[in-house]
Amino acid sequence: MPQYPAFRLNSTRRRLVLGATGAALLSSGLHARAQSRSAAEPIRLAQLMDSSPDQQDISRDYATGVRIAVNDFNRSDRKPVQLVNVESDGSAGSLKSALQAIRKDAALCALIGTAGERLALDSIEAARAEGLAIAHLAPWLSDSRYDNDRDVIPVFASREAQIRYALKSLESLGIVDIGLVYSSEREYAALHVGVDAAAQSLKLRAVDYVPGRGEAPASLANRLSNGSPAVLLFLGGTIELSLFAQALSGRKLQRYVVSLADIDVGTLVQLGVGRAVPLILTQVVPNPQSSMLPAVRDYRASLKSQFDEKPSQISLAGYLAARYVLPILARMERPPTRETVLAEFARRASEDVGGFQIAFSASQRRGSSYVTQTLLTGDGRQVG
């Protein structure tokens, strides 16, 4: 059987920014193997995780949610699930090696919860190039370009739905022009096709702002012209957004900054955004700390018992995603192979996941269209 590298999270980046509080969140529980009380042969799933510096926090949070759902599932009497974490450093060569190892391990019947989005997009294309026919179940993916792909099961609201929801609160301004701010050249290369398509479908005139090689987000903010659009859609991580917003605030350049579900609100509040820049932050799951949906209450209880972490939108998303996938796998009448899992999920079954509805249809190719938003004011207050 191929040997898989354990996911080694480089915590330096988070510790430097958040100090001891942030470091406490790096629970070693991520490395724990699910223990089954059943002697049945387990359903084996691979989870691709991105260890590159600007993606590792998202990847690790989403993986935490998937892991606690798997652990809870394995306490039942149903057929157990074994989750194999496979690391990629974000490079094409690393991803190719990871997929080749997965191909050789025929018992791995599907990918679950690939994160972050850049790796999710790359893995779909790389699997095709490798001729690896395997289901991509509930990847962390806002991009809509694979919504009609048989192999890809996107669970949460699309980027287009998130942008539309965010702009509803600004519609009185008659927004037509929007700035698309990418945190890096790499982010632009990975996302711009899908982002541009979303902007066109919403009939927005988009201007791209892309940093040069090695240019920091703060530098990008400092070179925005006074004639730049009033609304800026930021595409990047939590730390990068904080640096960009603080630099923009220092210029006293009045802009609305919209950011999508890759941002962890709690971390952003700790880092700060500057007093002059209102941020509109969309989320594709309910509030992980206050929602009373049964699934969210279960998530909070499981997170508290299994990991030394605070609830976050991204780990809740991973939990809900796995809660959708696992019962479907357990109900399969045929043995779970790559072929049978692909056939089963091609049906796009709907599930009530503890009050959170995941429902596909001929016109709804993503499991959920749920979007909510938070307005983060310059003094750190969250509105909405």
Task: Please name the residues in contact with 76: beta carbons below 8 A apart, sequence gap of 6 or more.
Answer: none
> Residue 380 — pLDDT band, cuts 50, 70, 90?
low
Percent of the chain at pLDDT above 90?
Answer: 62
Q: What is the DSSP letter of 172?
A: G
Q: Is the pLDDT of residue 151 over 50?
A: yes
Q: Is 159-283 in CATH node 3.40.50.2300?
A: yes
Q: What is the DSSP letter of 115?
A: B
Q: Is the pLDDT of residue 14 over 50?
A: no
> How do the domains of the chain map onto residue ranges?
12-156+292-358, 159-283
- Where is average pLDDT lowest: 5-9, 124-128, 333-337? 5-9
- Where is average pLDDT lowest: 56-65, 110-119, 173-182? 173-182
Q: What is the DSSP letter of 171?
A: G
Q: What is the pTM of this model?
A: 0.86
E-strand ranges in the chain read 43-50, 81-88, 108-112, 135-137, 152-153, 177-182, 205-209, 231-235, 256-259, 279-283, 351-353, 356-358, 372-376, 382-383
Are both 12-156+292-358 and 159-283 of the same fold? yes
Average pLDDT (333-353) is 95
Q: Is the pLDDT of residue 284 over 50?
A: yes
Q: Is the pLDDT of residue 30 over 70?
A: no
CATH architecture of 12-156+292-358: 3-Layer(aba) Sandwich (3.40)
Tens digits of residue pLDDT in 223-233: 999 999 999 99
125-139 burial, b for 16+ CB within 10 Å, e for fewer? ebbeeeebebbbbbb
> Residue 379 — pLDDT band, cuts 50, 70, 90?
low
Q: Is the pLDDT of residue 33 over 60?
A: no
**Helix, strand, coil distribution of the chain in percent, nearest 5:** 40, 15, 40
The pLDDT, as a whole number, for residue 156 is 97
Percent of the chain at pLDDT above 70?
Answer: 88
3-state secondary structure at position 206: strand
